[in-house]
Structure 1
Amino acid sequence: MNVKGKKLNITDMIILTILLVISILCLLPVIHIFALSFSSSSAASAGIVTVFPIDFTFAPYTQIIDDPYFFNSFFVSVKRVLLGGIVNFVLTVMMAFALSNEKSEFRSRNLYMWIIVFAFMFNGGLIPTYMVVQSTGLIDTLWALVLPTAVPIFNVIILMNFFRGLPRALKDAAIVDGSGPWRMLIQIYIPLALPAIATVTLFSIVMHWNSFFDGLIYMNKTENMPLQTYIQQLVIRPDEITSANKDEIMQKASSRTFNAAKIVVTMLPILVIYPFLQKYFVKGITLGSVKE
């Protein structure tokens, strides 16, 4: 047995077999959820759905998509991911670059490090955070979903350690050539840190897309809710579904099939994005986690 021209010994084959089994075990629940979302209510209630749909139906997806607020909530989530991703990227890169300097170059570096580590471990709590958002007039606005998480400290630490791992000679050469901090960051640090940036970008996208609780407490109007919050409300308060054929749909879709369809809808965008960032993921998180 050969892989890329390398002959595998018995140990390699055992390792590959174990990894293959683990991969299958990870995929089976996802396949089961897909099958369940396309199965009838009676098949789901009977527990006979495995990896293939039984009594194939689109009723659970019709129950979601036919709601007039569904696509509105979807685009709210898309706007949140785009705006939140840009804000996270800009602030994370700038903060990580500044903190990657030595104390001799940035005298207050250690002070800021203690501040962000303290903020990483502790926060003001839900009520004070809500009061701050309310007092700044952000309730029922997209900024209420973006600004409270504008600086993800974990991502800052990963990217900062990546910057600190770059050869010092690059920075010295840039200074000799007359480069200022902005040019150094844009032309040297960011291109070299693409693996780490892709990693923290993936973290940011997943965080913004999957969050539902902040939309629950900061949004009073249904049309302002992100997708995850709105779907969660559909599960808790199904009476708000305004589909024209609601009765017919509810006869074909149970809570199990509806929840399965909800999971499929919410994970599809991440499944589409992840393959483009996956090649950077392992390299970025390991290179950014061994310093400081």
Structure 2
Amino acid sequence: MKPSRGEALFSYVNVLLLSLLSLSTILPFIHIIAKSLSGEAYILAKDIWLWPKGATIDSYQYVLSYKQFYISFYNSVLITVIGTVISMAVTILAAFPLSRKHFPLKRGLMLFFVITMFFSGGLIPTYLVVKQLGLLNTLWSIMLPMALAPFNLILIRNFFFSLPEALEESAVIDGASNLRILTWIYLPLSLPSIATIAMFYAVGYWNSFFQAMMYITNRALMPLQVFLMQLVTNSKPGDMAVGGALNDLTPESTTAAAIVCVVFPILCVYPFIQKYFVKGVMLGAVKG
């Protein structure tokens, strides 16, 4: 069926607006890459836009010459992987009973979780709790306080709620336990939603910065985002693995190279689960 003139006009305008929005997010990153690969003279002359000039990789050699970069990279990977696993386990185990219609405490617990989306205990009480639990200067101080995001819990819970009740009823008749129903029925059917929420958690852990600044003072536990902050502020993040022959580089080029090195690893994960994004979020938001 041929679309009407109004529908065609709406489609064209929609494509144009989305294209402009995409360019507004992509062009700054391309500019950062171009700057990280450009020569010092061109950067000082402010002559870099979207294409590198005087191509060189000295900025990357400088950033990668820090031993602290590899230590921080390892810490960030550890935080992201373990933190995502913990968060997904907690979120799924909380969402499953909250999606059961006959669970008596469902409304009260959901209200409890929703309240935490708008009100928090505050910065100082949170710090005191982390301190009293003995989590200061440990990677657990970043992972455990962020273990459950109420918004992600609501998405998973709504997706579970939208699944047909007949699936659970047939499993109960066959003698399946709640754990077996969750692992054999709900989880396989929820892969799009689970992959999407896992990516949300992973990006949050990878970008965790404020928690590390508050709870960690040991350089051996410094995540990558703190390393980047120290490099941007021109403070020394740690000892260099090689000599200081590259110290005459401009701060702008080294900062750009550091940004690319920090963003690139998590950016590589997106293509593998991109197909789950729209499907996962929409399915989790249809029914509540």
Q: Does 1:144 align with 2:141?
A: yes
Q: What is the one-letter code of the residue matched to 1:121?
A: F
Percent same amino acid at aligned positions? 38
What is the correspondence of 1:165-184 to structure 2 with a 5 Å cutoff? 165-184=162-181
Displacement of 1:177 in angstroms is: 1.4
Aligned to 2:251: 255
CA gap of 1:280–1:232, structure 2 versus 1, over 3 A, is: same
Mapped to 2, the partners of 1:107 and 1:163 lie a distance apart of: 17
What is the correspondence of 1:263-282 to structure 2 with a 5 Å cutoff? 263-282=259-278
Aligned to 2:243: 245
Mapped to 1, the partners of 2:246 and 2:3 lie a distance apart of: 54
Preserved contact between residue 130 and residue 136 of structure 2 (Cα < 8 Å) = yes
Q: Secondary structure at the match of 2:88?
A: helix
CA RMSD of aligned residues (A): 2.1
Q: What is the one-letter code of the residue matched to 1:168?
A: E
CA gap of 1:110–1:9, structure 2 versus 1, over 3 A, is: closer
Preserved contact between residue 222 and residue 230 of structure 1 (Cα < 8 Å) = no
Q: Secondary structure at the match of 2:136?
A: coil
Aligned to 1:32: 31
Which residue, out of 101, 106, 120, partners 1:109?
106
Aligned to 1:288: 284
Displacement of 1:237 in angstroms is: 4.4
TM-score (norm 2): 0.91
Gap runs ≥5 in structure 2:
none
What is the correspondence of 1:1-292 to structure 2 with a 5 Å cutoff? 11=8, 14=12, 18=16, 19-102=18-101, 105-243=102-240, 244-246=242-244, 248-252=245-249, 254-292=250-288
Mapped to 2, the partners of 1:106 and 1:135 lie a distance apart of: 34
CA gap of 1:230–1:41, structure 2 versus 1, over 3 A, is: same
Mapped to 2, the partners of 1:115 and 1:166 lie a distance apart of: 24
Gap runs ≥5 in structure 1:
1-5
CA gap of 1:29–1:182, structure 2 versus 1, over 3 A, is: same
CA gap of 1:111–1:9, structure 2 versus 1, over 3 A, is: closer
Displacement of 1:137 in angstroms is: 1.0
CA deviation profile, 1:50-107 (whole Å, cap 9, x unmatched): 12111222222222211111101100000001110110110011101111011xx211
Displacement of 1:120 in angstroms is: 1.7
TM-score (norm 1): 0.90
Mapped to 2, the partners of 1:77 and 1:240 lie a distance apart of: 15
Mapped to 1, the partners of 2:259 and 2:211 lie a distance apart of: 19
